[in-house]
Amino acid sequence: MAVWDNPDVDLLYEINGLAKEAPTWADHTMEYVGEYGIVFGLVLLGLWAWWRITRRRETRDEAVAGFAGLMWAPLAAAVALLVNIPIRGFVERPRPFFDHHGLEVLIAGKSDYSFVSDHSTLAMALAVGIFMVNRKFGLIGIVLAVAAGFSRVYMGVHYPTDVIGGLALGTAVSLLLAPAAMWLLTPVVRAVAGSPRVGALVWAGAKGGAGDAGAGAEAAASADGRRGGQDGPGVDAAAEPGTRRGRGRDRDLAA
């Protein structure tokens, strides 16, 4: 054990010690990735998931549910950050570099409270929101969220428990409030999907799939119905003699 005899502080020094041994370019890369890059990557991941939903879902209802779930992801992140405001004010934990000397602090100017990590909260809320819509993309997002938390400790601006608390808070908000959020968002998204102008943002149709076949069959049935209504009974009456004549010719050929 280190001289601090505190697992949280020990791990802080172990992870932050990597920054001291790394070259300058690696520290600058980690600084950018940890501060902006991972969140930007999660946004791109959410946009990719949205593209797949609008193009590959077989029915409009499936697309509506998926789109509403993706809408909840950034809203969950915003709610989680708001929840964190009173938590930080209640705990009032200073940043680690105020109490522990010898840390390699890569980002200056962080003077607010440390617990819990906003970046970890934001990243995990986005990742879990994506996971509820697309598991493959969601797992990638969760890995990115954990990497975001690791980078905060690496940069010397958070304790490991700050990061763990942020990951837990983001997960809890995304999961626990999801049913109520979907109940509110689904009717809105369904209305958007029914709009002729912006409906393609939710569902572009099942290209070449059962959705198009079903739509084509419905259109054909409607067209036949309209033609039948316009032609009237005279068409059927005219068709019957022709049918009889055709059968007569068939009998003659058979003879």
Q: Is the pLDDT of residue 179 over 50?
A: yes
Q: What is the pLDDT of residues 132-165, one digit of tens each?
A: 999 999 999 999 999 999 999 999 999 999 999 9
With beta carbons less than 8 A apart as the criterion, state whether 121 and 166 touch: yes
Flag the least confident range among 23-32, 104-113, 235-244: 235-244
pLDDT category, 215, cuts 50, 70, 90?
very low
Query: What letter would DSSP give residue 37?
Result: I
Q: Is the pLDDT of residue 98 over 70?
A: yes
Q: Is the pLDDT of residue 53 over 60?
A: yes
Flag the least confident range among 69-83, 86-100, 226-240: 226-240
Q: Is the pLDDT of residue 210 over 80?
A: no
With beta carbons less than 8 A apart as the criterion, state whether 113 and 162 touch: no
Specify the 3-state DSSP secondary structure of 191: helix
Mean pLDDT computed over every residue of the chain: 81
More confident residue, 72 or 234: 72
For 80-141, the DSSP string reads HHHHHHHHHHHH-PPPHHHH-TT----S----S--SSPHHHHHHHHHHHHHHTT-HHHHHHH
pLDDT category, 22, cuts 50, 70, 90?
confident
Classify domain 7-201 by CATH number.
1.20.144
CATH 1.20.144 segments of the chain: 7-201
Identify the pLDDT of residue 134: 92
Identify the pLDDT of residue 79: 97
pLDDT category, 5, cuts 50, 70, 90?
low
Dihedral angle over CA of 137, 138, 139, 141, nearest 10: 90
